[in-house]
Structure 1
Amino acid sequence: MIASILDGSTELYHELIRPYERSVYMMALSFMKNDADAEDVAQEAFLKAYRNLASFRAEAKFSTWLISITLNEARSRLRRQGSIRVESLDETPENGGHVSPALLRDWHEVPSEALERKEVREILKTAVTTLPEIYRQVFLLRDVEELSVKETAEALTISIGTVKVRLHRARMMLQKQLTPQLKSINPKRRWIPWL
């Protein structure tokens, strides 16, 4: 498809990037404070990818290359703004996430459980935003976007060993920060330490 686009079939570019639109936007949103800035970063990343498509060497997956461009654009924009503003957002069920009932007879959500899930999501978002940037990036790529260790290393231009170390440290930091907070929400429930 890339060869066809480079040969002049530019209308195929949207088909090429369509599977990655959500990932690029979510990665941009994890760096930028609001939807508008995240959309600008994502749009600019797609434009830069298009302009530099001829330089894509297929040594990495296209998605990894695209995420790298997105990360660089977000960092560049934050530097230009003179501040590092970060808010990590995970897709919530209210915004189109997939929710399936545990049992067919259980169609109605229990309000207390819904409130508990919302509180947990907010606590997790806040905790992820407090991670130092090098750990937050790895955590988001591996545990939110579900990239492989190799893809994460390529996207961040670091070694596989560094990805593993940073991910472990990010998880440990989150565990240390989240465990007391999650226990305060529901002391009877057994929480998975860093989720």
Structure 2
Amino acid sequence: MIDTTAQDDLSIPALRSGDRAEFARLVDAYSAPIYRLGLRMLGNEQDAEDVLQNTFINALTHLSSFEGRSSILTWLYRIAVNEALMSLRRGRPEISIDDFNSSEDDDHFHPSQFVDWGALPEDELLSNEGKQALETAIQNLPENLRMVFLLRDIQGLSIKDTADTLEITESNVKIRLLRARLSLREQLSFYYGERINQEKTND
């Protein structure tokens, strides 16, 4: 989640003027969420560290031109997203940043299977295996849906800040978020469906 207290305490004029101590505070405040975003998007610790490093290098280089139209965190996330997408393109040349921003949101997504997770005990839902199933499901999302889900539901950005970060409309954020949640629910339904069947078999 976003540490709004850290954001409020930072001095934008000091950052723009090149104050290194203030920049160090910026790095301390936001290294963790940016690293987590890179890790969840790329699934690799080294790649996530590269995203983190390159994000702050780019931020330091361009802070003097930061106009404050969005929050400093939204601006950092935008840099991190671009770095992560470039990393994805290097590893998978078929991925295009233009494809990420293209609109396919008129497509209708119809999940084929839903399972009532309420049939499972709470400790099953919160188990390490269950959490790993969720992480795998997130990694299986298309990049455009995964980024919206990570920024909104995992990192805790508002709809507006998510839209500003990804440079898409708020309407597209809402549609992609719905599609991401439905896709995750369908993927996890297969996993929990098997668990429920096992419970019934063991009874």
Please give the range of the TM-score, normalised by the shorter of the 2 chains: 0.7 to 0.9
DSSP 3-state at the match of 1:69: helix
* Deviation per residue, 1:72-105 (Å, 9 max, x gap): 01111222334589xxxxxxxxxxxxxxxxxxxx
Long gaps (5+) in structure 2: 1-10, 96-122
**How many percent of aligned residue pairs carry the same amino acid?**
37
Q: Is the contact between residue 116 and residue 185 of structure 1 (CA under 8 Å) also seen in structure 2?
A: no
What does the per-residue CA deviation read over 1:7-65, in whole Å, with 9 as the maximum and x for residues that have no partner? 34222201123221111101111232321221111011011011100121111111010
Measure how far apart 1:116 and its partner are: 6.2
Instruction: Please state if 1:17 is matched with 2:36.
Output: no
Change (3 A) 1:84 1:27: farther
Question: Equivalent residues in 2 for 1:75-90 (5 A)?
Answer: 75-82=85-92
Runs of 5+ consecutive residues of structure 1 not aligned to the other structure: 86-112, 190-195
Tell which has more relative contact order, 1 or 2 (C-alpha 8 A, sep 6+). 2
Compute the displacement of 1:6 (Å).
3.2
Aligned AA for 1:132?
P
Aligned length: 163
Match of 1:52 in 2: 62
For residues 153 and 16 of structure 2, what CA distance do their matches in structure 1 show? 34
Which structure dedicates a bigger proportion of its chain to helix? 2
Closer/same/farther in 2, CA of residues 33 and 180 from structure 1, 3 Å limit: closer
- TM-score, normalization by structure 1: 0.75
User: In 2, distance between residues paired with 1:166 and 1:125?
Assistant: 18
Q: CA contact under 8 A between 1:28 and 1:38: conserved in structure 2?
A: yes
TM-aligned CA deviation for residue 179 of structure 1: 1.6
Aligned-pair Cα RMSD in Å: 2.5
Give the 4+ runs in structure 1 shifted more than 6 A: none
Q: Which moved more, 1:174-183 or 1:3-12?
A: 3-12
Q: Distance in 1 between matches of 2:196 and 2:94?
A: 33
SS of the residue 2:127 aligns to: helix
Report the more deviating stretch, 24-33 or 37-46: 24-33
- Give me the whole-angstrom Cα distance separating, in 1, the residues matched to 2:132 and 2:13: 44
Give the aligned partner of residue 93 of structure 1. none
Q: Do residues 135 (structure 1) and 145 (structure 2) align?
A: yes
1:78–1:84 Cα contact (<8 Å) kept: no
